[in-house]
Every structure is written in C-alpha cells, then in structure tokens.
Structure 1
Amino acid sequence: MNVIPIKSTGIAAVLLKEINNTYHVLLLKRTSLNLNNIWCYIGGGIEDGETAIEAVYREIAEETGITELELYSSNQFDQIFSPQENYIYIAPVFVGFVHEEQSVFFKRRT
C-alpha cells in the first residue's frame, strides 16, 4: 500500500485590524519564485527549536513589524498537495487581531 507523506514545517496567519469600526484583513503581495505577484496571508517556516506559536509571532514581526496583537489558533489548516513530490503540506492557521494603535510596515523581500 502506498502512502502519501504529510509534511508540517510551517505556519500561516490571517491578521485583522479594526479601522473606523470595520475589520480589515492584512494581505501581502509575494515576490517569491513560487508565489510571485500573488496576494496571500502571512506564512513561513518553523525554525529549529521553535514551536508553531513562536514561529507565527516571529514571522508576523519579520513580515509586517507587528508585535502588538492577540493571537488565536483557528482550528483550520493550510493544505496543499504537491503532485511533483507526492506529499501533502499542512500548516496550522492562526488568527491575529492587531491592536488599533499598532502601525504596520511592509518589508520588500527578494
């Protein structure tokens, strides 16, 4: 019996910020080889010795400068099947509520 392996080496986060009594979703426009010019939520890998929650806080700070937020597990998972490598990638998704006074910066990655 063949088994499709599951890899779980990263995290994802959807951030919400209330502005004028309306919640807005923060999306980032990617410039990577695989996701060039694609708008998506925050995501990244879990580094050695990190827990998923530590990784999500680090990735949010690195990609947006946001450090003031309330973060929750969403009970959802980002799931992608790679037909070329025959595995399923799965990542826990977190939801963050950004504090109103928290500013956001955008860092261009190359």
Structure 2
Amino acid sequence: MASAELIAHRDTWEWLAALAVDHSHFRTPPSVEDIKEGRAQTVLSGRSLIALLIELWNTRSTATPLQGDWALAMTTYNRIAAELTDVTGQGQTIRIVLDDGLPQDSGD
C-alpha cells in the first residue's frame, strides 16, 4: 500500500496523530488541510497507516471498555479495516472517511 487519503473531524485527527506519533513507523504527514465544518484531510503513507492501526489495536485492547479512548479506537480501527478490505491494488485512491457527517463519496 502506497498511501491513503484520510478525512476526519479535526479533533479526531489530532487524537489519532497523538496516539500514533511515538510508533517507530509513523511519520507525521507533511500537510493536513482544513476543510469545511471542522474537518481535516491528509494523506498517510502505508507505513504510517500500519503504525496507526497497530496503535489503535493496542488502545482498544488496553483501554477501559466503554470509555472515550476505547470507543474511539474501536470505531476508528473498524472503519479503517472495512475500507482496506475491498482494496484491489489496481491504482485506486484509498479514501478513508472517519466522519458520519460526510458521505463516503463526497468531494469534501
């Protein structure tokens, strides 16, 4: 996997970045664009996405169930995994939307 476009609420993005920043394979993206209604859009390398998934898995395994970090980790991990399940490797852009207010196929 080369990269994936990620769209999330700014608060969610900041939580994800803080969660993964200390993982040896996570690289902070060179740019995070503010888009409408408090959302952020960025591109993560495959390496950084793997690091994020590892940290989400660890958090959902160690956080107190039904608390904020656990809920965010569960939801985010499951949504990213669902998006990656159908990837065919045919040069398509992988777009991961972590915002219920934004349709999956919306332009932004």
TM over 0.5: no
Structure of higher CA gyration radius: 1
Q: Which has the higher helix share?
A: 2
